[in-house]
């Protein structure tokens, strides 16, 4: 089963990717079967088009057997390429711990003879 998508539009607004999708209505005579289109399918389409995206903010499920649910919008966070700056790691100076004296219990046996 192949999923036919009539409209696949990607718009960038406010550091977000808005993906608008529209599918044809279900029709046996034209050979268009019933199907659902979820976030996973949209992510696969974005991967095929080599578009980088982040976490999904708004999800939707398209069902092509009703006119009201055959259009949908997904919103993804836009990935921002951060320039890699060299990180300088400073080593901390080791601090010598003070040796504290410990009182030991007596090792001599005390005889209790009477």
* 36 in a structural domain: yes
Question: 109 pLDDT exceeds 70?
Answer: no
* 17 in a structural domain: yes
pTM over 0.85: no
* 40 in a structural domain: yes
More confident residue, 74 or 99: 74
* Separation CA 64–CA 74 (nearest Å): 17
Quick: pLDDT tens for 10-53. Answer: 999 988 999 999 999 998 888 889 999 999 999 999 999 999 99
Task: State which residues form the domain around 37.
Answer: 7-77
* 56 in a structural domain: yes
* 93 in a structural domain: no
* 83 in a structural domain: no
The token pair that represents 62 in the structure block: 């398209």
**Contact predicate 5/21, CB 8 Å:** yes
Which helix (H) or strand (E) covers residue 7, if one does? strand 7-13
Q: Kindly state the greatest CA–CA separation across the chain.
A: 115
Q: How many CB atoms are located within 10 Å of the residue 69 CB? A: 15
* 51 in a structural domain: yes
From residue 97, how far is each of 44, 94, 111 by CA, in Å? 57, 9, 39
Task: With H, G, I as helix, E, B as strand and everything else as coil, classify residue 62.
Answer: strand
Question: 108 pLDDT exceeds 80?
Answer: no
* 29 in a structural domain: yes
Tally of domains within the chain: 1
């Amino acid at each position: 089963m192949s999923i036919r998508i009539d409209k696949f539009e990607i718009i960038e607004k406010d550091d977000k990717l808005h993906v608008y999708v529209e599918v044809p209505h279900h029709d046996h005579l034209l050979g268009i079967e019933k199907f659902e289109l979820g976030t996973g399918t949209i992510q696969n389409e974005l991967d095929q088009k080599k578009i980088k995206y982040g976490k999904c903010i708004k999800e939707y499920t398209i069902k092509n057997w009703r006119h009201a649910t055959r259009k949908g919008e997904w919103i993804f966070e836009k990935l921002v390429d951060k320039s890699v700056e060299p990180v300088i790691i400073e080593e901390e100076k080791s601090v010598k711990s003070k040796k504290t004296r410990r009182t030991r219990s007596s090792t001599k046996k005390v005889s209790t003879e009477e």
